[in-house]
Amino acid sequence: LSCKVLSSVVTPCYCFVSPQIRVKPDNTGVVTDGVKHSMNPFCEIAVEEAVKLKEKKLIKEVVAVSCGPQQSQETIRTALAMGADRGIHVDVSGKDYENLGPLQVSKILAALAKQEDAQLILLGKQAIDDDCNQTGQMTAALLDWPQGTFASEVSLEGDKINLVREIDGGLEHIKINTPAVITADLRLNTPRYATLPNIMKAKKKKIVTVKPADLGVDVTSRLEVLKVEEPPQRQAGMKVETVEDLVVKLKEAGRV
């Protein structure tokens, strides 16, 4: 396969420091000021897989894409340091960024795939900040391409792709045609470190900035967030001495 791979670096997501997550006083979302944005771990795995395919000379070029404000470029630089060839930054900021969801990102990726004449789109299976797990699937649908989601093994065979998918029942082996969309699951690979010399070299690689409108994509959201709340405080448990006590307490609580 001598093809270009569009490796999507999904919108940089927030580092997991869960006890520090606070809901904004106006309940419209969580506080993100000053919180470090880093590459979504599943996207790191996707980038790693793309770079591996290039190193095996099975694909020609890896393009890293990120949708978001100016800081997204740092995430693209990390992908470039890992081995991607060039980057595309789709500039979305402010309110548009807060409302950016899988459907809009999928439309953007579909438009880019057509523009770049990509044969393969590799993404992380889901972002760890919103856990949607929708972008890969929607992108495939918009392009009418086959999809191999939750991939834990990928191998190219001629112009087809052999995939092992991690599913509830075990491991599913499928073969799909190209062009295709693949989403990476945890066990696909172990991403390499972005070493400092590579970060320095990455500064010389090109990142092009485009706007969603340039791609003909409308990023208005179909969803409205009504409220974001902290989960309820965990109530203390209760210890009982005997089984009879347990049954009495359960009856009191209306559970039996």
Partner 1 sequence: SMLPLMSTPRITTHYTIHPRDKDPRWEGVEMERFADEADVVIVGGGPAGLAAAIRLKQLANKHEKELRVCLVEKAPQIGAHTLSGACLEPSALTELIPDWKERGAPLNTPVTEDVFSILTEKYRIPVPILPGLPMQNHGNYIVRMGNLVRWLGEQAEELGVELYPGYAAAEVLFHEDGSVKGIATNDVGIAKDGSPKDIFERGMELHAKVTLFGEGCHGHLAKQLYNKFNLRENCEPQTYAIGLKELWMIDEKKWRPGRVEHSVGWPLDRNTYGGSFLYHLNEGEPLVALGFVVGLDYTNPYLSPFREFQRWKHHPFVAPTLEGGQRIAYGARALNEGGCQSIPKLTFPGGLLIGCSPGFMNVPKIKGTHTAMKSGMLAAEAIFPKLTAETLDSETAGLHVPEYAENLKNSWVWKELYAVRNIRPSFHNYFGLYGGMIYTGIFYWIFRGKEPWTLKHCGTDANQLKPAKECTPIEYPKPDGKISFDLLSSVALSGTNHEGDQPPHLTLKDDSIPVARNLGIYDGPEQRFCPAGVYEYVPLDTGNGMRLQINAQNCVHCKTCDIKDPSQNINWVVPEGGGGPAYNGM
Task: In whole angstroms, give the CA distance from residue 172 to residue 168.
Answer: 10
Q: How far is the CB of 15 from partner 1 (least distance, A)?
A: 6
Q: How far is the CB of 12 from partner 1 (least distance, A)?
A: 12
Residues 6+ positions from 245 with CB-CB distance below 8 Å: none
Q: How far is the CB of 152 from partner 1 (least distance, A)?
A: 17
Task: In whole angstroms, give the CA distance from residue 139 to residue 124.
Answer: 13
Task: In whole angstroms, give the CA distance from residue 112 to residue 215.
Answer: 7
Sites of contact with partner 1 (CB under 8 A): 15, 17, 19-20, 22, 25, 33-36, 38, 190, 192-193, 195-197, 199-200
Q: How far is CA 28 from the centre of its chain?
A: 23
Q: How far is the CB of 136 from partner 1 (least distance, A)?
A: 26
Comparison of 50 and 111: residue with beta carbon closer to partner 1? 50
- Strands 4-8 and 147-157 come out as unpaired
User: At 102, which helix (H) or strand (E)?
Assistant: helix 102-116
Comparison of 33 and 218: residue with beta carbon closer to partner 1? 33
CB 159 within 8 A of CB 1: yes
Task: In whole angstroms, give the CA distance from residue 216 to residue 210.
Answer: 11
Q: What is the DSSP letter of 235?
A: P
Residue type for position 42: F
Q: What is the DSSP letter of 100?
A: -
Comparison of 54 and 107: residue with beta carbon closer to partner 1? 54
Comparison of 15 and 248: residue with beta carbon closer to partner 1? 15
Q: How far is the CB of 208 from partner 1 (least distance, A)?
A: 21
Comparison of 124 and 191: residue with beta carbon closer to partner 1? 191
Comparison of 4 and 52: residue with beta carbon closer to partner 1? 52
Q: How far is the CB of 123 from partner 1 (least distance, A)?
A: 22
